[in-house]
Amino acid sequence: MPVEEFVAGWISGALGLVLGHPFDTVKVRLQTQNTYRGIVDCMVKTYRHESLLGFFKGMSFPIASIAVVNSVLFGVYSNSLLVLTATSHQERRAQPPSYTHVFIAGCIGGFLQAYCLAPFDLIKVRLQNQTEPRAQPGSPPPRYRGPVHCAASIFQEEGPRGLFRGAWALTLRDTPTLGIYFVTYEWLCRQSTPDGQNPSSATVLVAGGFAGITSWVTATPLDVIKSRMQMAGLKQREYRGMLDCMVSSARQEGLGVFFRGLTINSARAFPVNAVTFLSYEYLLHAWG
Ligand SMILES: C[N+](C)(C)CCCC[C@H](N)C(=O)O
């Protein structure tokens, strides 16, 4: 099994993540708390209350984990294409796979990465939702002291299954939308590249950016449900399941609730995925 795709996925995932984390914090807060009037209000309050550091809450854990997760996504995607079409990464420009194969390989990659991502994503969301400013004398300490403490507390309070809270919503969110992700990327690259040639860096950046946006736009409704189910254990607000969470959120807040975080998701998706695809393609090219 070719491993360079896994390594390239690892590095490119980490680069994309740092760039996108401040957007991600604002998104999670908008989706799960009702105290902000919008993106700008949330940014201003976060900055005033917690300084720039507030935007980077919960990042250390994803940076270690997203590398693994992105490596699973790109590694499984590329190796699934190898099985489906018998072409390696190097051969794929000369013999491009069909979009159906690209979609299936993306879904397989998405499905497997979702399970690796679930516990890390849960911890990230819990830490991002702690709005207390960092260690101030006299103020009560935040509930979780950091990622390891957070994981241990969830394990103790909610059991081992607690660590997989929201995992089904996450899997449903990621399986089809990562198929869409790779199809959009391939389609845009092929539109602006002569047959058989490698896409230019500019093409890769734009195609990667739009692949990220398309994938996130289609993923946002389930992203909201996923984040709410992940917070449920903490807020003592139990849902009987995904459907219950969807119905009660829509009843209380209207259908617009399913699009919370859409603008910020899209704004984050472009730079993150442009950089992810560019570094991925660059690394694989450099390694021959
Ligand atoms: C499938 N879904 C839209 C959820 C994610 C697709 C993009 C993945 C990328 N690592 C990012 O964080 O943007």
Predicted complex ipTM: 0.97
Q: Quick check: 234 pLDDT over 80?
A: no
Architecture per CATH, domain 3-287, reads as Alpha/alpha barrel (1.50)
Instruction: Report pLDDT for 151.
Output: 92
CA of 208 to the centre of ligand 1 (A): 11
Distance, in Å, from the CA atom of 228 to the CA atom of 194, rounded to the nearest integer, reads 45
Distance, in Å, from the CA atom of 247 to the CA atom of 106, rounded to the nearest integer, reads 29
Instruction: Report pLDDT for 1.
Output: 65
Mean pLDDT to the nearest integer, 49-59: 87
pLDDT band, residue 99 (cuts 50/70/90): very high
Ligand 1 binding pocket includes 169 (Cβ within 6 Å): no
Comparing 116-130, 180-194, 269-283, which segment has the lowest mean pLDDT?
Answer: 116-130
Distance, in Å, from the CA atom of 212 to the CA atom of 221, rounded to the nearest integer, reads 16
Distance, in Å, from the CA atom of 41 to the CA atom of 25, rounded to the nearest integer, reads 13
CA of 215 to the centre of ligand 1 (A): 7
Spatial neighbors of 78 by CB under 8 A, at least 6 apart, are 2, 5, 89, 105
Asked if 18 contacts 122 with a C-beta cutoff of 8 angstroms, the reply is: no
Q: What SS3 state is found at 124?
A: helix
Distance, in Å, from the CA atom of 181 to the CA atom of 64, rounded to the nearest integer, reads 23
CA of 23 to the centre of ligand 1 (A): 13
pLDDT tens-digit series, residues 193-205: 998 889 999 999 9
Ligand 1 atom, smallest distance to 272 CA: 13
Distance, in Å, from the CA atom of 151 to the CA atom of 163, rounded to the nearest integer, reads 7
Ligand 1 binding pocket includes 12 (Cβ within 6 Å): no
Distance, in Å, from the CA atom of 133 to the CA atom of 140, rounded to the nearest integer, reads 10
Token output for 101: 């194969």
Instruction: Report pLDDT for 133.
Output: 67
pLDDT tens-digit series, residues 209-218: 999 999 999 9
pLDDT tens-digit series, residues 141-175: 788 888 899 999 999 998 999 999 999 999 999 99
Ligand 1 atom, smallest distance to 13 CA: 10
pLDDT band, residue 136 (cuts 50/70/90): low
Asked if 193 contacts 200 with a C-beta cutoff of 8 angstroms, the reply is: yes
Instruction: Report pLDDT for 237.
Output: 67
Q: Which amino acid is at 156?
A: Q
Instruction: Report pLDDT for 37.
Output: 92
pLDDT band, residue 236 (cuts 50/70/90): low
Instruction: Report pLDDT for 114.
Output: 95
Asked if 182 contacts 77 with a C-beta cutoff of 8 angstroms, the reply is: yes
pLDDT tens-digit series, residues 247-279: 999 999 999 999 998 998 899 999 999 999 999
Asked if 72 contacts 109 with a C-beta cutoff of 8 angstroms, the reply is: yes
Q: Identify the sign of the CA torsion 268, 241, 67, 18.
A: positive
Ligand 1 atom, smallest distance to 174 CA: 1
Mean pLDDT to the nearest integer, 58-76: 85
